[in-house]
């Protein structure tokens, strides 16, 4: 995360501790197979009870409309931001090709750029689904440029229905162990996606970088 971002003071945290579709889509991931994902790095276990994001907003006298999302593919983190202040962070994982920017359907990459929340709803497999507005105009420009430069097939489709969601029941270890398992979506534990979901609104700004 860029150094210009500020985090909530430690003292504040201690106080708080006192208290549809395209052909291949991420919301219809192919049948989940934990054997296909590779174990990369592991998030350290938190030994403290973290306050909910709603409690943090209330303590900061903020509304959910003040919040935007920044996702950093390099450090596997989702940041709930109020301007340059980090309100809360969540560990996340990505598509099975986590390094590259998404250029076409089926490349299993997570797109980069500026997006917004298109819709959000409960999901029978991944608890919640927060649908982002990929592909954007910028996404189409990248897609068409890649075709012109013969980086992707001429008949490649751009794909769609990328979102932020949870994990199959009983597979929270996918997040802890940084196993990139999706077809391009951003995945959190179900506990974390449920927490984040409480402040999501249509049009919420989202940036994804690496």
- The answer to whether 91 and 43 have CB atoms below 8 angstroms apart is yes
Query: Does residue 42 sit within a domain?
Result: no
SS (H, E, C) 135-164: CCHHHHHHHHHHHHCCCCCCCCCCCECCEE
Please, which pLDDT band fits residue 22 given cuts at 50, 70 and 90? very low
Q: Which residues are catalytic?
A: 165, 185
Please state the domain count of the chain. 1
> Could you tell me if residue 199 is inside a domain?
yes
Report pTM: 0.81
**DSSP conformation class of 41:** -
Assigned domain for 150 exists: yes
Alpha helices in the chain (DSSP H): 10-16, 53-59, 137-148, 173-176, 190-197
| pLDDT tens digits, one per residue of 65-120 | 999 999 999 999 999 999 999 999 999 999 999 999 999 999 999 999 999 999 99
Cβ(87)–Cβ(80) below 8 Å: yes
At 112-143, the pLDDT tens digits run: 999 999 999 999 999 999 999 999 999 999 99
Structure tokens at 23: 């052909």
pLDDT of 27 over the 90 cut? no
Q: Is the pLDDT of residue 210 over 70?
A: yes
Residues 176-205 have pLDDT tens digits of 999 999 999 999 999 999 999 999 999 999
CATH of the domain at 102: 2.40.440.10
Quick one: pLDDT band at residue 11, thresholds 50, 70, 90?
very low
Token pair recorded at residue 35: 């054997």
Q: Does a structural domain hold residue 25?
A: no
Q: Does residue 159 surpass a pLDDT of 50?
A: yes
CA torsion through residues 105, 192, 87, 205, sign = positive
Per the domain annotation, does 161 fall within a domain? yes
**pLDDT band, very low/low/confident/very high, at 3 (cuts 50, 70, 90):** very low
Give the model's confidence band at 44: pLDDT under 50 very low, under 70 low, under 90 confident, else very high: low
User: Is there a domain that residue 37 lies in?
Assistant: no
Tell me if 80 sits within 8 A of 53, measured CB to CB: yes
Residue range(s) defining the domain that contains residue 134: 6-17+49-209
pLDDT given for residue 39 in this prediction: 46
Strand locations in the chain, DSSP E?
A: 6-7, 67-72, 77-82, 85-91, 113-123, 127-132, 163-165, 186-187, 205-209
């Amino acid at each position: 995360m860029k150094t210009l971002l500020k985090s909530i003071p430690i003292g504040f945290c201690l106080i708080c501790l006192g208290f549809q579709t395209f052909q291949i889509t991420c919301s219809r991931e192919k049948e989940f197979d934990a054997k296909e994902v590779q174990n990369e790095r592991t998030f350290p276990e938190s030994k403290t009870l973290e306050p909910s994001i709603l409690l943090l907003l209330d303590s900061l006298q903020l509304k959910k409309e003040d919040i935007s999302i920044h996702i950093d593919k390099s450090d596997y983190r989702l940041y709930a931001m109020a301007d340059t202040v980090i309100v809360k962070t969540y560990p996340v994982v990505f598509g099975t090709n986590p390094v590259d920017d998404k250029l076409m359907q089926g490349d299993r990459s997570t797109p980069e750029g500026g997006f917004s929340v298109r819709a959000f709803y409960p999901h029978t497999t991944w608890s919640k689904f927060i649908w982002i507005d990929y592909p954007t105009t910028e996404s189409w420009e990248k897609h068409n440029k890649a075709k012109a430069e013969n980086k992707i097939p001429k008949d490649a489709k751009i794909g769609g229905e990328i979102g932020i969601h949870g994990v199959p029941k009983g597979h929270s270890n996918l997040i802890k162990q940084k196993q990139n398992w999706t077809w391009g979506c951003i995945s959190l534990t179900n506990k974390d996606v449920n927490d984040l979901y409480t402040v999501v609104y249509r049009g919420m700004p989202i940036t994804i970088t690496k």
